[in-house]
Amino acid sequence: MKVAVVGGGAVGLCCAWSLARRGADVVVYERARVGSGCSFGNTGWICPGLSAPLPAPGVMGAALRGMLRPGSPVLIRPLFGLAFLRWSWGFWRACAPERYRAGLEATVALSRRTFELFDELRAAGVEFEMHSAGMVVAALTEAGLEEYATMLREAQAAGYDGQVRVLDGDAVRELEPAASEAVVGGVHAPAERYVRPESFTRGLADALRRDGALVREGVAVGDLREVDADADAVVVAAGVWSGSLLRSAGVHVPLEAAKGYSVTARGSGTAPRHAFYLAEAKVGCSTFGDAVRIAGVFDLTGVDLTLRRRRIETITRSAAAFFRDWEPEDVELEWAGLRPYPPDGLPLVGRVPGSDRLYAATGHGRMGITLAPATGELLADVVLHGAEPPELAPFGLARLGRISGR
């Protein structure tokens, strides 16, 4: 069976890997270089414990209040148009407690084999940088501590089987010497990991080529009718560009681009040993060798990759209070990337209704690295064998209502 995968990020490459391992003849189309989009400059976290959907009770009010503060991690620039209004209405509805709980249970179930699948990739010869020291959430206030302690306990209630420990400030500093004296407490999730995402996508692409798959870089697909007509199946895994690609096939799915930023820098002082999350700042940190990557903010400003200096400064300024003495000195990379979000914050994975050869694997938001291997494994069975895995039932496109335009 010949399968075309459109999109060479973490999700698309994991789909291609799982399809190829099952015997499919796979070709990947990537508009730039593999892993150069949303997968490139993020923190690379593998964190099922933080897999809660973005729409949650209280999120709308907190976001609107936060936007009034200078340097808020959330920015919503008015996007006039019926499509954005519909997306916003769907997001608001998804914040209902019962919808949130159902979404959390679904994402936890999808990520259940995540660590095992990353280990299997390495055992199969996919080379990438991975760190297994766990995650530490640091909080400057009791309210910030309670927010994330609650989030991780809710994940446990939904089926997450990792250990969760709530710590006071001294215990946080003993575990994570990078934490400052201002940290009043934190949460430790020792099972969590992180990868260097550029090494992960590069390793997957190299392994695919080694095993005979075709990975075509610099090939921008603007219309799905341009994809090889001989392909028996086409998997759309093109991140925020998936919406326009699916529209070219008469399929309309609501996707918005949420821009995030990161800075990767060598510095002086004590770098984090763990995946280090800064609760009130909504910022994540990963240490790669002698450099630290700090990433955050959530800008709903449309498909816009402009690197705005003020937003980079927001990340570094808000992170400073959490660090004992680490300070950036030599900047290696400043980056902005677009995370694809359906209105309910859940990925779109499965067969496209009304088509006998079109499949989607997109909309993973901030959970692309965590959920990519599981998405690839389960979707490969759908594409090749017509399977209906129960883990994918909550992520079908049909949940979004009428999507076919033809």
Over 166-228, what HEC string results? EEEHHHHHHHCCCECCCCCEEEEECCCEEECHHHHHHHHHHHHHHCCCEEEECCCCCCHHHCC
134: nearest Cα among 32, 49, 65: 49
d(CA 59, CA 150): 14
d(CA 54, CA 35): 23
**Locate tokens 């990925």: which residue?**
347
Checking 84-89 for CB contacts under 8 A at 24+ apart, the result is 84/256, 86/254, 86/343, 87/254, 87/256, 87/343, 88/343, 89/343
Going from the C-alpha of 19 to that of each of 274, 362, 377, 382, the distances in angstroms are 33, 16, 8, 10
d(CA 16, CA 214): 10
Asked if 324 and 179 touch (Cβ cutoff 8 Å), the reply is yes
Is residue 322 classed as helix, strand or coil in its secondary structure?
A: helix
d(CA 402, CA 74): 30
Chunked mean pLDDT (size 10), the chain, 406 residues = 98 98 97 94 97 88 66 69 88 95 97 98 98 98 97 96 97 98 98 98 98 96 85 97 92 93 97 98 97 94 89 94 96 96 97 93 97 98 97 94 55
239: nearest Cα among 251, 225, 253: 253
* Residue 139: CA count within 13 A, CB half-sphere: 17
CA dihedral 51, 56, 61, 62 (to 10 degrees): -20
For residue 340, what is the enclosing H or E element?
strand 327-341
pLDDT at residue number 84: 87
d(CA 146, CA 388): 38
Distance of CA 271 to the CA centre of its chain: 24
Describe the chain by its helix, strand, coil percentages, rounded to 5: 40, 25, 35
Which stretches within 211-305 are classed as H helix?
242-248
Q: In 10 A of CB 367, how many CB atoms?
A: 27
What is the radius of gyration, based on Cα positions, of the chain? 20
Is residue 77 classed as helix, strand or coil in its secondary structure?
A: coil
pLDDT at residue number 195: 98
* Side chain identity at residue 205, one-letter code: A
For residue 236, what is the enclosing H or E element?
strand 233-236
The number of residues in the chain equals 406
